[in-house]
Amino acid sequence: MTAVLFLDLSGCGYVGDPQPPALNIPKPVLDLQVVERGSRLQVTFTMPAATGEGLPVREAGQIDLRIGPAPAPPFNLNAWLAGTKSIFVEWPAISPVTAQTVTQSFDALPWTGKDVIIGVRLTSPNGRPSAMSNLVAASVIPPLTSPAGFAAESRADGVFLRWNAPTQPGMAYRITRQIGDGVPQTIADLPEIQYLDLVTAFGPTYRYTIQSYVKAGDINALSEPSPEFSIPHIDRFAPAVPTGLNALAGATAIEMGWDRNTDADLAGYRIYRAAGDGEFVRLPGEIEPPSFRDTTVKSGQRYRYVITAVDRLGNESGRSEPAEAEAP
């Protein structure tokens, strides 16, 4: 009987202490960001994919976005919450694997001229709230005027932009560029009302928009984007004028040399010759090295020469300073 009882006990596994049910409260949001864009406030944050217990978020709760006046210090979270307004934000589709970005905008006009604090927290399916996110302080200002009088000019070294905008302390400008049908990207933030876009290549069409912005508390307040301005960036620019041309009489020809051009798209040089004080006439072909031997001269005749540089698209520079020599 004792042996049977021992065997029965040894065959039972240890279950352990009973565990409380998971609360399923999502982890708090850690990266709340806010911008004032035109007449709206826009919030952006990443939805946590796990709960406080480290379990995947498998069921939607509620997103509790709050905005309210900034209280006098010291800050008390509960006192601030009591005076806030709740903004509805739809819970995105559940994805326990991929962190999702949520973006929501709402009317800023009721808060214009006020210092506010914005925060967000998430609740479990049964309404238990997470901790509050990082809090963002904003000084809501009247909507900024979009830049106007926007123009762009294609130059040899890039695309030059200029625009008109009201100037006020702290005003700056954000430039967004789209190449062809690509994705628009912010390329510059600057206080001036002009900009030379050096990171360009000849060929594509560039599309630009500009926004005014100022710092407002912890956030940027931006205008609506300006109307888009498109410009095809076409190479119509000649190489630099060649320098250092010299001509010397050799044994049977006139020898010429000059300084090498450094233009990246240089294709070669064109040579123009004049007999005596006559008109310059282009010699056939284009020369790649910065030197030339003219064997078609007549003995005893004085010749004058100028050269030009040509790029791969056929853009031709102005003429060099002349050089002359008498044929042997």
- 128 with 46, same domain: the answer is yes
Instruction: Confirm if 174 and 184 have CB atoms less than 8 A apart.
Output: no
Q: Is residue 109 part of a domain?
A: yes
Tokens 């106007």 locate to 148
Q: Answer yes or no: is 74 within a domain.
A: yes
Q: Is residue 276 domain-resident?
A: yes
Residue 130 lies in a domain: yes
Number of domains in the chain: 3
In a domain, 283, yes or no: yes
* d(C-alpha 68, C-alpha 116), whole Å: 5
How confident is the model at residue 44, as a pLDDT?
Answer: 97
Domain match, 50 and 132 both:
yes
Q: How far apart are CA 253 and CA 256, in angstroms?
A: 10
pLDDT, mean of each 10-residue run, the chain (328 residues): 39 51 86 96 93 87 95 91 94 74 95 96 92 95 92 92 83 95 94 94 94 90 93 93 96 95 94 97 95 95 97 95 95
- Residues 265, 192 share a domain: no
My answer on whether 131 and 45 are in the same domain is: yes
CATH code where residue 127 lies: 2.60.40
| pLDDT at position 15 | 52
Is the separation of the CB atoms in 24 and 51 below 8 Å? yes
**Closest to 225 (Cα-Cα) out of 183, 173, 188, 168:** 173
59/127 same-domain check: yes
Q: What token pair was written down for 181?
A: 């049908």
Strands 33-37 and 219-222: parallel
Residues 252 and 277 in one domain: yes
One domain for residues 197 and 227: yes
CATH (domain of 293): 2.60.40.10
Shared domain check, 86 and 53: yes
> What pLDDT shows up at residue 24?
83
Last-in-domain residue among 232, 266, 281: 232
| Residue 88 domain boundaries | 33-139
For 214, the token pair is 């100022």
Which pLDDT score, from 0 to 100, does residue 56 have?
86
Of the residues 119, 139, 159, which one is the last residue of a structural domain? 139
Domain identity same for 117 and 55: yes
Residue-level pLDDT at 8? 42
**Last residue in a domain, options 202, 232, 262:** 232
pTM over 0.75? The answer is no
In a domain, 292, yes or no: yes
Q: Which helix (H) or strand (E) holds 50?
A: none
Helix/strand/coil for 32: coil
Residues 121 and 157 in one domain: no
Cβ atoms of residues 45 and 33 within 8 Å: yes
53 and 130 share one domain = yes
Domain presence at residue 303: yes
What backbone torsions phi and psi does residue 43 show, to the nearest 5 degrees? Answer: -110, 145
- Whether residue 12 is contained in a domain is answered as no
Residue 10 is predicted with a pLDDT of: 43
**How far, in Å, CA of 222 to CA of 41, rounded?**
10
127 and 89 part of one domain? yes
Q: Which of 302, 279, 305, 301 is nearest to 293 (CA)?
A: 305
